């Protein structure tokens, strides 16, 4: 590796030990999280990345071709982990594998439950197997959805215990994973993710696999998800923040599912990536751990989120909000039969703070401003063209 591509100062971990350059096999590197993690690793470390994905649009600026100063630092490997024999070779050549690959869009859990289960459990099995058999470290991305419903959600709506943190704050090593009935296909994703977590944990216990499991709580920022009909399928339904962004860009009312009463927390992608960076470079503190990565200070109901986004987008775009900026729709109308949801997803941050000293920094309004500014700049003209073409052909 050329020394000119490496940062000038030697890196040390949280215990003061030098950080040796790693070779990282990053599966799902072309997605939202992967693109930000690749940028961070290229800018601030000497690590080498094998970027594995089917698409490279979000990392094209890093790999097609790699800029001269990154020569030998990052390479793109176009493969589908379902059925490509090259995957084991890449994992063998790497020191660490990070698995980001998943179907993780709520609308798909209902309409594509088989794909959802295969993607999040069956397709992840070879990755775990190759890491375990070859004594390679694994950082596996799970989801906050493995917690399912809170204990408090089973109490009467006006019960005072619903307000007690032990009935809704989600702890990695204590909170139960409570899902809905089998007929509610929405839980296909959470069940698949929980089962692969259990398998990884068992590989660690029985075969000595070095692993870290990450449970993201709504990571938000530029390049997240997709805008239907622009860089994703026209009939696609992305996650809530991208759905609302799509409505705002098109001048449509924001659709609140079942009144938007669910509570969520949101964390800025750059804060979250800093947490992953700490996991990568502090294996002694991260191995064998499950980490919530979220921002409990950025807790809002989905309705409050819609109100904030409407206000922020009006400032960013200079366009006044609609007279009726929001409309209510049922979950059945929006997602179809078999949808179910959790009432709250509020992470406990004790373990990650103790092990890695990590705390999120960015307030919700700031991360919404950054994200909506990017989306307005990136998508507004494309959406205008698409809408004018649609009206001309109708």
Rounded distance between C-alpha atoms, residue 211 and residue 230, angstroms: 37
User: Of 50, 109, 130, 189, which one is the catalytic site residue?
Assistant: 189
Q: What percent of the chain has pLDDT over 70?
A: 94
Please determine, for residue 30, whether its predicted confidence score (pLDDT) is greater than 90.
yes
- Predicted confidence at residue 202, as pLDDT, reads 98
Task: Give the pLDDT confidence score for residue 2 in this predicted structure.
Answer: 40
Least confident of 42-56, 98-112, 234-248: 234-248
Round to the nearest angstrom and report the end-to-end CA distance of the chain. 57
What is the pLDDT of the chain when averaged over all its residues? 91
Structure tokens at 273: 């990536």
Would you say the C-alpha torsion 330, 334, 337, 342 has a positive or negative sign?
Answer: negative
- Give the mean pLDDT of 39-67: 95
Map out the domains of the chain with their CATH numbers. 102-387 (3.40.50.720)
Phi, psi of 27 (to 5 degrees): -90, 125
With contact defined as beta carbons under 8 Å apart, do 35 and 100 qualify? Answer: no
Cβ atoms of 215 and 148 within 8 Å: the answer is no
CA distance 29 to 47: 14
Q: Give pLDDT tens digits for 337-376.
A: 667 777 788 999 999 999 999 999 999 999 999 999 999 9
Cis bond before residue 65 (omega within 30° of 0): yes
Q: What average pLDDT does range 269-297 have in this prediction?
A: 98
Tell the residue number behind the tokens 């751990």, with chain if given: 289
DSSP 8-state code for residue 322: P
**pTM for this model (two decimals):** 0.92
**63-72, 148-157, 269-278 — which one is most confidently predicted on average?**
269-278
Task: Give the DSSP letter string of 234-250.
Answer: TT----HHHHHHHHHHT
Contact 224, 32 (CB under 8 A): yes
Query: For this structure, is 189 an active site residue?
Result: yes
Residue listed under structure tokens 């259990």: 198
Selection from 98, 39, 49 nearest residue 77 by Cα: 49
Phi, psi of 93 (to 5 degrees): -80, -15
pLDDT at res. 225? 76
Q: For the chain, how many residues are written?
A: 394
| Residues 177, 290 contacting (CB under 8 angstroms) | no
From the centroid of its chain, how far is CA 342? 18
* Sign of the dihedral defined by the CA atoms of residues 177, 183, 186, 190, in that order: positive
Tens-place pLDDT, residues 151-176: 988 888 889 888 888 889 999 999 99
């Amino acid at each position: 590796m050329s020394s000119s591509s490496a940062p000038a100062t030697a890196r040390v971990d949280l215990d003061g030990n030098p950080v040796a350059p790693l070779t990282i096999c990053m599966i799902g590197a072309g997605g939202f999280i992967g693109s930000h993690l690749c940028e961070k690793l290229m800018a601030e470390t000497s690590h080498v990345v094998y970027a594995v994905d089917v698409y490279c649009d979000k990392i094209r600026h890093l790999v097609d071709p790699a800029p001269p100063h990154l020569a030998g630092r990052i390479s793109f490997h176009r493969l589908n982990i379902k059925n490509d024999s090259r995957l084991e070779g890449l994992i063998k050549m790497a020191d660490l594998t990070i698995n980001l690959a998943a179907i993780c869009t709520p609308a798909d859990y209902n309409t594509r439950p088989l794909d959802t289960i295969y993607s999040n459990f069956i397709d992840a099995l070879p990755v775990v197997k190759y890491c375990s058999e070859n004594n390679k470290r694994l950082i596996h991305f799970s989801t906050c959805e493995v917690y399912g419903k809170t204990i408090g959600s089973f109490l009467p709506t006006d019960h005072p215990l619903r307000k007690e943190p032990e009935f809704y704050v989600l702890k990695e090593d204590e909170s139960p994973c409570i899902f809905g009935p089998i007929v509610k296909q929405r839980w296909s994703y959470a069940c698949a993710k929980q089962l692969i977590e259990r398998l990884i944990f068992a590989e660690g216990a029985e075969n000595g696999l070095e692993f870290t499991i990450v449970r993201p709580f709504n990571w938000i920022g530029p390049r997240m998800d997709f805008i239907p009909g622009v860089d994703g399928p026209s009939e696609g339904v992305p996650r809530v923040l991208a759905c609302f962004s799509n409505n705002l860009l098109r001048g449509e009312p924001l659709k609140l599912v079942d009144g938007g009463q669910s509570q969520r927390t949101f964390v800025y992608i750059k804060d979250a990536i800093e947490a992953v960076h700490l996991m990568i470079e502090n294996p002694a503190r991260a191995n064998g751990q499950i980490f919530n990565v979220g921002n409990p200070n950025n807790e809002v109901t989905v309705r409050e989120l819609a109100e904030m986004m409407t206000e922020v987008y009006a400032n960013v775009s200079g366009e006044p909000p609609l007279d009726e900026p929001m409309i209510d729709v049922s979950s059945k109308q929006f997602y179809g039969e078999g949808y179910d949801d959790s009432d709250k997803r509020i992470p406990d941050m004790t373990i990650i703070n103790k092990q890695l000293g990590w705390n999120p920094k960015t307030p919700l309004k700031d991360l919404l401003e950054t994200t909506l500014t990017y989306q307005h700049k990136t998508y507004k003209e494309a959406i205008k063209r698409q809408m004018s073409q649609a009206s001309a052909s109708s």
